[in-house]
Amino acid sequence: MLTRRKLIQRLTAIPVLGGIMTSIPFTTAFAGGKPPKRDLFKELGVRTFINAAGTLTYMTGSLMHDEVLEAINSTAKEFCLLDEVQDKVGEKIAKLVHAEAAVVTSGAFSGMTLGLAGILTGIDEKKVQQVPHLAYSGMKSEVICQKSHDIVYNHALTNTGCKIIQVETAEDVAKAVNERTALMHFLHIESDKGKIQHEEWVALGKKFNVPTSIDIAADVPPVSNLWRFNDMGFDFVVISGGKAIRGPQSAGLLMGRKDIIAAARLHMPPRGFNIGRGMKINKEEIFGMYIALEKYINQDHDKEWAMWETNIAHIENTVNKLSGITTEVHVPPLGNHTPTLRVTWDQSKIKVTDKQLRESLRNGSPSIELGGGTENSVNLTVFMLKPGQEKIVATRLKEEFTKATA
């Protein structure tokens, strides 16, 4: 036991630090009120821009609503136990998304790694320490996935030491399943390219007694996707927090079976000695993710959709009056399911390439980023615009097309 005397001895053993701390005139540094507001973008020369492209990681994803920033700020000023925040927030989130359990992860990618790691090890702490060296404890080591669903993000799965076994048909699945099969993974965004659809995938998993997972990282809207795949019976589901949900860009959700989430958490901080220690998510982000999700679910989605349509129509109607321009609004059925405007031009009339046009808009003031296209077309979305920015985008596009027509 620590006696009072020993405690005092210990405290006085760090006089230098204590001395420095108390000698800083902390309150006088900001004498006369609030410190001047610093514009760090300006100070460091970091370009900001109007985002008419979409929720892209290299453009820092999405912007958080004030309620989310308020949740982050207000929780930043107290200590608490990391596990307790995950317990309490996880319970709330699980209810919102119809899952048995949920945990806030550092993105959808880490959700895939952690969910699979949990399946491989269960709550056996010795096994937890051995991932990704699966052979040591005879852990399972294969993940079955449709060929068209095996994209770059499956690296999240192979990080556990598992390899991907590609299949195309239900017969292929039957042949591929063996005692090493840990998981059957599905990718929603490519579901139109695979032969096997969601329900059949889940049914096959149940038939062969193999857990199933789905990556829906970029797949709200529609909001119902948040619970659709939990209701369908996938054993775990991952989604990005920092895309259309507009939570912290570094956050995501892992939702699913209670035993899988509990095991996944053994691979997460505050615990070390696991593959997930580097996938830390702090309490502010966890609270922020919860508030972002709650706000996203409760918002008026029809009203928001109508606003996107109005804004995209404004841009469309500004540019399609120009000679040589054709426009088309489409809604991608999978991934970034939001009104998207394609502007195409006749290069014999308008002498500009998509690269030149995007470069001019990027270098203009204010800077604007558009989505990619072809040599004579660009795509743009309005769901990441702030109110009024649709007018700036429309005007700037018209200016550039007019200039290139001369």
Ligand X SMILES: *Cc1c(COP(=O)(O)O)cnc(C)c1O
Give the interface with ligand X as residue ranges (CB under 6 A): 57, 107-109, 153, 189, 215, 217-218, 240, 252
Beta carbon nearer to ligand X, 318 or 338: 338
Alpha-carbon gap, residue 214 to 201, rounded angstroms:
10
Question: Containing H/E element for 184?
Answer: strand 181-187
User: For the chain, how long is the longest CA-to-CA vector?
Assistant: 88
Beta carbon nearer to ligand X, 122 or 332: 332
Helix 389-405 with 301-319: angle, nearest 10 deg: 20
| 48-67 exposure pattern, b = at least 16 Cβ within 10 A, e = fewer | eebbbbbbbeeeebbebbee
Beta carbon nearer to ligand X, 177 or 239: 239
Strand pairing class (325-330; 163-167): unpaired
CB 64, min distance to ligand X, A: 14
DSSP string, 95-161: HHTT-SEEEEESHHHHHHHHHHHHHHHTT-HHHHHHTT-GGGGT---EEEEEGGG--GGGHHHHTTT
210's tokens: 């193999």
Shortest Cβ contact with ligand X: which residue?
Answer: 107
Residues linked to residue 312 through DSSP beta bridges, in sequence order: none
Give rounded-to-5 percent helix, strand, coil for the chain: 45, 15, 40
Beta carbon nearer to ligand X, 75 or 249: 249
Cβ-based neighbours of 81, under 8 Å, separated by 6 or more:
none
Alpha-carbon gap, residue 104 to 135, rounded angstroms:
29
Beta carbon nearer to ligand X, 107 or 211: 107
CB 216, min distance to ligand X, A: 8
Q: What angle do CA 28, 29, 33 make, to 5 degrees?
A: 80
Beta carbon nearer to ligand X, 236 or 345: 236
CB 217, min distance to ligand X, A: 3
Burial of residue 153, with CB atoms counted within 10 A of its CB: 0-12 exposed, 13-18 middle, 19 or more buried: middle
CB 404, min distance to ligand X, A: 33
**How far is CA 31 from its chain centroid?**
41
CB 232, min distance to ligand X, A: 18
377's tokens: 């077309």
CB 107, min distance to ligand X, A: 3
279's tokens: 């996938």
Nearest to 211 by CA among 247, 264, 132: 264
CB 90, min distance to ligand X, A: 17
246's tokens: 């507009």
Beta carbon nearer to ligand X, 192 or 346: 192
Beta carbon nearer to ligand X, 155 or 355: 155
Burial of residue 211, with CB atoms counted within 10 A of its CB: 0-12 exposed, 13-18 middle, 19 or more buried: buried
Beta carbon nearer to ligand X, 61 or 205: 61
CB 190, min distance to ligand X, A: 8
Beta carbon nearer to ligand X, 165 or 187: 187
CB 31, min distance to ligand X, A: 43
CB 115, min distance to ligand X, A: 13
